[in-house]
Amino acid sequence: MDLDTRINQFKALIESDPDNDMAHFSLGNALLQAERHEEAAQSFVRCTEINKGMTKAFQLAGRAYIDAGQQDQAKEILTWGYIEAVTRGDMLPKNAIEEMLKEIGAEIPEVTQDSSVAAPSTPSGDFRCTKTGHMGHKLPRPPFKNGIGQWIQDSISKETFDEWIGMGTKVINELRLDLSRDDHDAAYDYAMRLYLGINDDLYKSLMDGQSPPMPESQFKGVIEDIMAMGGHLESEQGNLHTRVE
C-alpha cells in the first residue's frame, strides 16, 4: 500500500470518527514518512488533544515541527509533552523530548513525577536482557523449536518475553488475526521481531539463511504504528485495522 493511499484512508477514518486518537497518530506517521512535516505535526497535536497519555505523539509532533522549521510551535508542544511525560513516568518520550528542547535552545521545564505513578521496580534476577539491559530471569526453555527460539532464551529475559505476550495479544485483537492462516501468522511474527529487536540479518543468521516472513502491506503499517505507540490500543478494539483495509 503506497503512502498516498494510507494517508487518504486515515483521513477518511478521521472524517467518520474525528476523536479516534490512533487514527490521528497513524495519519501523522504516514505524513511524516511522506515528509509532509507540518501536516504530520498537526495530526500528532490533534492526537495529544484527544489523549494526553499519548506522550509519543508529543515527541513526534515536536520533531515534525522542527523539521518544518517551526521552532515556536515545536517549543510549545514539546514543553507540554515534557510535562506530561515526566508526570506519567514515560521516560523514553521524556528523554527524547528533552533532547529536542535542547536542540532548539528551549528551557527544560521543572516538573516532578506524579506520586501516584509507581516507580519502576528494582531490577532483580541474575540474567541480563539484551533488549532492555535490565536484570531478570532466563526463560526455562526456548519458546520455539528453532534458532529464533534458542536466541530468545539466550538473549531475552522472561520478564521481557512476558511483556511481549501481552503486546502480542493486543496485536492479535487489533488486527483480528487468525494464527492458523499463514499471512496472519507472518503478521504476528513480524510484530514479535520488531518488539524483541530481531532484524532481518539476525533472523537469517539464526535460521540458516532463510529470509523472514513479511506481512502483507495492510498489516505492516498498522503493526509499525502499534509498536511506535507502545501498545496504547485499549480503546480501539480492532476498529482501526478493519476500517482502513
User: What was the pLDDT predicted at 229?
Assistant: 65
Phi/psi zone of residue 208: left (φ > 0), alpha (ψ -120 to 50 degrees), beta? left
Please say whether the beta carbons of 78 and 58 come within 8 A: yes
Higher pLDDT: 127 or 230? It is: 127
User: What was the pLDDT predicted at 236?
Assistant: 38
Nearest to 95 by CA among 104, 106, 105, 86: 86
**Three-class secondary structure of residue 177 per DSSP:** coil
User: What was the pLDDT predicted at 51?
Assistant: 85
Indicate the DSSP class of residue 156: S
Distance CA 236, CA 142 (A): 32
Please say whether the beta carbons of 44 and 12 come within 8 A: no
pLDDT at 102 over 70: yes
pLDDT at 48 over 60: yes
Residue range 142-189, pLDDT digits in tens: 999 899 999 999 999 999 998 888 788 777 776 777 777 888 889 999
**pTM listed for this prediction:** 0.59
Please give the domain boundaries of the chain with CATH numbers for all domains.
3-103 (1.25.40.10), 127-244 (1.10.3880.10)
User: What was the pLDDT predicted at 169?
Assistant: 75
- Residue 176: alpha-carbon gap to chain centroid: 18
Residue range 207-221, pLDDT digits in tens: 999 999 998 877 887
User: What was the pLDDT predicted at 121?
Assistant: 53
In sequence order, what E strands does the chain have? 127-128, 135-136
Q: Can you spell out the DSSP letters for 54-121?
A: -HHHHHHHHHHHHHTT-HHHHHHHHHHHHHHHHHHT-HHHHHHHHHHHHHTTPPPP-----TTSPPPP
State the chain's mean pLDDT as an integer: 84
Alpha-carbon torsion 94, 97, 102, 107, what sign?
A: negative
User: What was the pLDDT predicted at 114?
Assistant: 57
Q: What is the average pLDDT across 219-243? A: 57
C-alpha cell at 178: 487468525
pLDDT at 243 over 90: no
